[in-house]
Amino acid sequence: MLLTSQSGESVETVRCLPLLEGLQVFSITLNAESTIGRKTQSLVASGGEEKAFAGTRSVTLTIAIMASVCVALGMKSRKELEQALESGPESLQPLQKALGLLTQANHVVATGRSLFSPLAQLFALGSEELSRQAMVCLETGQLRHGPTEILSCDTALVVFRQDGPLGQLAGSFVELQRKAGFSCVVFDASSFKALENSITIRFPEGDDIFTVLGMMSAFQTLMITYACTKNPYTGLPRYGSKVTTTE
């Protein structure tokens, strides 16, 4: 069993521990002195415990640990991990254009498939925490089965696209865009042609956690700058706390 909790104190994760007695439990956390850090066999990021709002550094560290596990298991080389950490978009200009597009939209929807679906969720969650604006996030298969009705000329769609067959499926958004009139931003790690009439932010091709890691700084930059245009108190929570200890 593998648990992940950046703070090591998230209530739902801590509550799991009594249910897992007798099992071999591993964890990934940022705080060695936390409940999860003390009571499991834990991999701890050396960057220190989580600080909010939003947890951009802590998320990146967590994914970096997961990628390091892949290296230890022989799935990738250390050099490939270092390249992923240092990689970024081919150009910053599309990010600037994407910021203008998102700022002007009345509604923003984020989507992705497979490993890129949680990446879309991270983007939407962080944007909501920081901007205080609601943002819809759906796995692309779910979005295609009905909720596409929410797309219109007032909407900006943010697509996280990987290489391979799943990345190729993103081409269906072109025809949908013609019909619905929404604006589109694509974080594109595919080898395919860019989607027509979309702002494309290009990354090295791939479809694994190393590709995800290479996108982190770019999408977080867009997330934070977007939030700053919407909320003069970006980063200062009104009601929430990053470490949720109550349900």
Distance between CA 53 and CA 46 in Å, rounded? 19
Length of the chain: 247
Residue in 163, 158, 92 with CA at minimum distance from that of residue 127: 158
Question: Is the confidence at residue 245, as pLDDT, over 70?
Answer: no
98-136 tens-digit pLDDT: 999 999 999 999 999 999 999 999 999 999 999 999 999
Give residue 54's pLDDT band: very low, low, confident or very high (50, 70, 90).
low
Provide φ and ψ at 216, rounded to 5°: -55, -55
pTM over 0.95: no
CB atoms near residue 80 (< 10 Å): 16
DSSP state of 77: -
Query: pLDDT digit string (tens) for 178-237?
Result: 999 999 999 999 999 999 999 999 999 999 989 998 898 899 999 999 999 999 999 888
3-class state of residue 4 by DSSP? strand
How high is the pLDDT of residue 10?
87
Structure tokens belonging to residue 113: 């498939």
How are beta strands 26-29 and 41-44 bridged, if at all? parallel
Distances (CA, A) of 1 to 20, 95, 197: 8, 39, 44
% helix / strand / coil in the chain, to the nearest 5?
A: 45, 15, 40
Percent of the chain whose pLDDT exceeds 90: 63
Domains of the chain, CATH where assigned:
2-84 (3.40.50.10490), 87-230 (3.40.50.10490)
